Amino acid sequence: MLIRFKIKEPGRRGFGLWFPVIIIWILLAALMLVLLPFLLLAALVTSWRGPGVRLLLIYPLLASVLWNLGGLTIDVDQKERVLLIDFI
Separation of alpha carbons 19 and 8, rounded Å: 18
Amino acid at 62: L
CA distance 13 to 21: 25
**What are the backbone angles phi and psi of residue 21, rounded to the nearest 5°?**
-65, -25
Q: How many residues interact with other proteins (rule CB under 8 A)?
A: 21
Query: What residues numbered 8-47 form the site for other proteins, per CB under 8 A?
Result: none
Considering only residues 26, 30, 61, 88, which one is a binding residue for other proteins as defined by CB under 8 A? 61
Is residue 65 involved in binding other proteins (CB under 8 A)?
yes
| Residue ranges binding other proteins (CB under 8 A) | 50-51, 54, 57-58, 61, 64-65, 67-79
